Amino acid sequence: MLPASTTGEVVRHTYFVLSYNEDHEQSEWVAYELTRDRLNENWAERPNTFRPDPDVRTESATPRDYSGSGYDKGHLCPAADMAFNEQAIDETFFMSNMSPQVGAFNGGVWRELEECTRDWARKFERLYIATGPVLDQTPIGQIGFSKVTVPVSYYKVLYAPEQQRAIAFIMPNELSARPVMDYACSIDQVEKLTGLDFFPNLLKGLDEELEGSLDKDAWPVDKRRYEKRLKEWNRK
């Protein structure tokens, strides 16, 4: 299920895998499986133990890089997706899993997409997920001593293997009042934008047609959550 790595630095944690890009001091992708059974487990307490990733050979960014930057330490693999296990959620606070996000984006439309993703994992029973920053676009800038790139946008790629359904999203790193589905696209579009190859060992032959398809109706969205974002999350 892993995307192809363009950097050669693949780090395997207990429940998620990442490809670290030293030039940008963050992961080009984080990939993992999300299941209904895991989401139905009792949630572990959120530890907030942000720290460098000891398994990154070239050394990861540090929390100090983000200090005073005006940007959030935005999770790529959400802590809530790994809350079924204390070790799993703790590992999501490695800085290799962070990317500089505008606060109104991290707590707004990106949060909504993460919650939608958990809804879809419950609905479809199992999802394969790859997510990360778009690093080939001209960045907003850099932060910290490590010169962490501030991406202009982010992507999320979802594949439901049992139902043979796929969808992807590209979202700008900014406040948004637009519905989540306005950002939906095909996997092919994300591959073209990022230069990455997603699920190369899964989507072969006839399955490759899924990479170019987009069926928004197959991925229902709770409109009440969108209304809550506009009224509450976007105003924080």
Quote the pTM value: 0.95
Q: Is the dihedral of CA 13, 17, 23, 24 positive or negative?
A: negative
Question: Is there a domain that residue 99 lies in?
Answer: yes
Task: Read off the CATH number of the domain in which 85 is found.
Answer: 3.40.570.10
Q: Rounded distance, CA 134 to CA 144, Å? A: 19
Question: Is there a domain that residue 2 lies in?
Answer: no
Residues of the chain with pLDDT under 70: 203-208, 236
What backbone torsions phi and psi does residue 18 show, to the nearest 5 degrees?
-135, 160
Question: Is there a domain that residue 135 lies in?
Answer: yes
What backbone torsions phi and psi does residue 151 show, to the nearest 5 degrees?
-70, 150
Q: Rounded distance, CA 156 to CA 17, Å? A: 15
pLDDT at 136: 92
Instruction: Give the number of other Cβ atoms within 10 Å of residue 63's Cβ.
Output: 15
Question: Is there a domain that residue 137 lies in?
Answer: yes
The one catalytic residue among 75, 111, 156, 229: 75
pLDDT at 36: 97
Per the structure, how many domains does the chain have?
Answer: 1
pLDDT at 202: 73
Catalytic residue status for 75: yes
Torsion of CA 65, 70, 73, 76, to 10 degrees: -120
pLDDT at 175: 97
Domain that holds residue 115: 10-235
Question: Is there a domain that residue 1 lies in?
Answer: no
pLDDT at 217: 93
Question: Is there a domain that residue 146 lies in?
Answer: yes
Q: Express each pLDDT in 59-79 by its tens digit.
A: 999 999 999 999 999 999 999
Question: Is there a domain that residue 148 lies in?
Answer: yes
Question: Is there a domain that residue 127 lies in?
Answer: yes
